[in-house]
Amino acid sequence: MTKSKNMKSIVTSELPKCPSGIQGLDEITFGGLPQGRPTLVCGGAGCGKTLLAMEFLCRGALTYNEPGVFIAFEEKEKDLEENFASLGFDLKKLVKQKKLLIDYIYIERSEIEETGEYDLEGLFVRLASAIDTIGAKRVVLDTIEALFSGFSNQSILRAELRRLFRWLKEKGVTAIVTGEKGESLLTKHGLEEYVADCVIFLDHRVNEQIATRRLKIIKYRGSKHGTNEFPFLIGNNGISVFPMTSLLLSSSVSSQRISSGIKSLDAMFGNKGYYRGSAILVSGSAGSGKTSFGAQFVDSVCRNGQRALYFAFEESESQLSRNMTSIGIDLKKWIDKGPLRVVSNRATLCGLEMHLVMAHKAVKEFKPAVVVVDPITTMIGSGIVDEARAMISRLLDFLKNEGITVLATDLTLIGDRGGETEIGISSLCDTWIKLSMEMQDYQRIRRISIIKSRGMDHGHETKDLVITNKGLEIKDIPGVREGYK
């Protein structure tokens, strides 16, 4: 019967959803948790179950005007208030405003003697009273499995749980039930048996000494959902889920152009420069001028009154701006004035996902028109090549979707003559500029060529790249004429 009901709802419209308000979660669930139904959130110790559940209530109360009840079996009201204060949630205030009600239920088996039959009507009464007191639309039971350690009669318990979930559905509240990860089952006591509509699994694992939190939707009845594992971060304002892999190639393209900051390079792109919102890869060996390339681009962007974000994985902010003054680019001026922000991190500082997450955050906060990632290849150092590739493509996709022009530099090793950059990111980029060094009469000469540039006319000849004290300049190689056009 439920099946036919579900079928029907697919035909007419999607299931009603209850937006969780948690960053990213609503995107991968296409709208939120199933409204008026319970959702199971499970995972190992310290994976963020309680946080997710509590944030669901807080966001509900703050953003959607839906009061919530938090039934805590593990932590006292005071402990919860203290713990969440550090994440920027003022539970006390919400409680005072009657938008949140926390009820701590204490069960200690050793203090309770069992004789004959009983039921859990007490829990129902408490829950009902809590719901009615503040007119709650959302309920969290964290974690209901505590009941299993509190009572010995399993058959009563299981029957009562089934009744509880039926009752919650009848009440029409959107509920989150948390459960500890089990050995063979999803949860220790098989809660998934009762909560069958939506199951979210949280994971916290360490790979090559780098810890990442991940979230996966195991099932969601009557709704489509992202099936991948999504990284998430517990930051200073709660959970952020990053649905990067769910991005589609649906970004709207722009035919606007943006200057590369180097006049003579713009000339190679039909006097107009790059496409706005495209991805540009600058690859070259050490010392070929990649960073200068990025800096000059950023400088020109700021000069035109737009914002730029520079991810420096090899240099600190002050080092970068000092070095660039030697070629006549004053980055410090832009940093002080505001249109430029330099984010410098060692690639090994944290995991790939974390880098992604930080990049995501910085971009969302700063809203730049241009992002420079210098160099994008350091990422490989902090992870496995496959993962690095996936992560870079996700980063580029994300930036493209936001309509941001991204310039990534890529270090190719000397002697690496292959046309493929190390992690095959060239195919993700729209424009690929290659810098190289050539030996000529005991001198090393910088050369530049445009290997590809999607959708535009561009020069095909290799030219000289000269680094002057007024920035980069591109010159014809003496004797080589433009003969291809």
40: alpha, beta or left? (left if phi > 0; alpha if psi -120 to 50): beta
Q: Which of 21, 31, 48, 150 binds another protein (CB under 8 A)?
A: 150
Please give the full DSSP string across 51-73, using - where no structure is assigned. HHHHHHHHHHHHHS---EEEEES
Q: Which two tokens stand for residue 195?
A: 């909560």
The one catalytic residue among 27, 193, 229, 314: 314
Q: Which two tokens stand for residue 341?
A: 């922000």
Sole window of 124-132, 395-403, 443-451, 473-481 interacting with another protein (rule: CB under 8 A):
124-132
CA nearest neighbour of 44 among 204, 241, 215, 206: 204
Residue 170 binds another protein, judged by CB under 8 A: no
Q: Which of 7, 85, 112, 385 binds another protein (CB under 8 A)?
A: 112
Q: Which two tokens stand for residue 30?
A: 């296409």
Q: Which of 1, 3, 4, 111 binds another protein (CB under 8 A)?
A: 111
> Residue 213: helix, strand or coil by DSSP?
strand
Q: Which residues pair with 474 in a beta bridge?
A: 465
Sole window of 20-28, 111-119, 166-174, 228-236 interacting with another protein (rule: CB under 8 A):
111-119
Q: Which of 14, 79, 82, 114 binds another protein (CB under 8 A)?
A: 114
Q: Backbone phi, then psi, for 179, in 5-degree steps?
A: -150, 145
Q: Which of 118, 303, 346, 460 binds another protein (CB under 8 A)?
A: 118
| Smallest separation, CB 120 to another protein (Å) | 6
Kindly identify the residues of this chain, within the stretch 128-147, that bind another protein according to CB under 8 A.
128-129, 147
CA nearest neighbour of 67 among 34, 98, 89, 22: 98
The Cα 219–Cα 238 span in angstroms is 24
Residue 123 binds another protein, judged by CB under 8 A: yes
Q: Which of 17, 27, 90, 126 binds another protein (CB under 8 A)?
A: 126
| Smallest separation, CB 180 to another protein (Å) | 19
Residue 79 binds another protein, judged by CB under 8 A: no
The Cα 370–Cα 374 span in angstroms is 13
Residue 350 binds another protein, judged by CB under 8 A: no
CA nearest neighbour of 247 among 428, 393, 454: 393
Q: Catalytic annotation on 117?
A: no
The one catalytic residue among 27, 74, 317, 473: 74
Residue 120 binds another protein, judged by CB under 8 A: yes
Please give the full DSSP string across 423-448, using - where no structure is assigned. TS-GGG-SEEEEEEEEEETTEEEEEE
Q: Catalytic annotation on 229?
A: no
Site size toward another protein, by CB under 8 A: 25
| Smallest separation, CB 73 to another protein (Å) | 9
| Smallest separation, CB 118 to another protein (Å) | 4
Q: Which of 10, 63, 106, 287 binds another protein (CB under 8 A)?
A: 106
Long-range contacts of the stretch 27-32 (C-beta < 8 A, 24+) = 27/226, 27/241, 27/243, 27/246, 28/217, 28/225, 28/226, 28/230, 28/241, 28/243, 28/246, 29/198, 29/217, 29/220, 29/223, 29/225, 29/226, 30/223, 30/224, 30/225, 31/223
Residue 341 binds another protein, judged by CB under 8 A: no
Identify whether 375 is preceded by a cis peptide bond (ω within 30 of 0). Answer: yes
Sole window of 122-130, 226-234, 251-259, 430-438 interacting with another protein (rule: CB under 8 A):
122-130
Pick 147 or 331: Cβ nearer another protein: 147
Sole window of 39-47, 115-123, 137-145, 340-348 interacting with another protein (rule: CB under 8 A):
115-123
Sole window of 44-52, 81-89, 120-128, 279-287 interacting with another protein (rule: CB under 8 A):
120-128
Using alpha carbons, list the distances in angstroms from residue 92 to 60, 70, 225: 16, 13, 34
Q: Which of 116, 305, 419, 483 binds another protein (CB under 8 A)?
A: 116
Pick 8 or 76: Cβ nearer another protein: 76
Interacting residues toward another protein by CB under 8 A: 103, 105-107, 111-126, 128-129, 147, 150-151
**Catalytic positions:** 74, 314
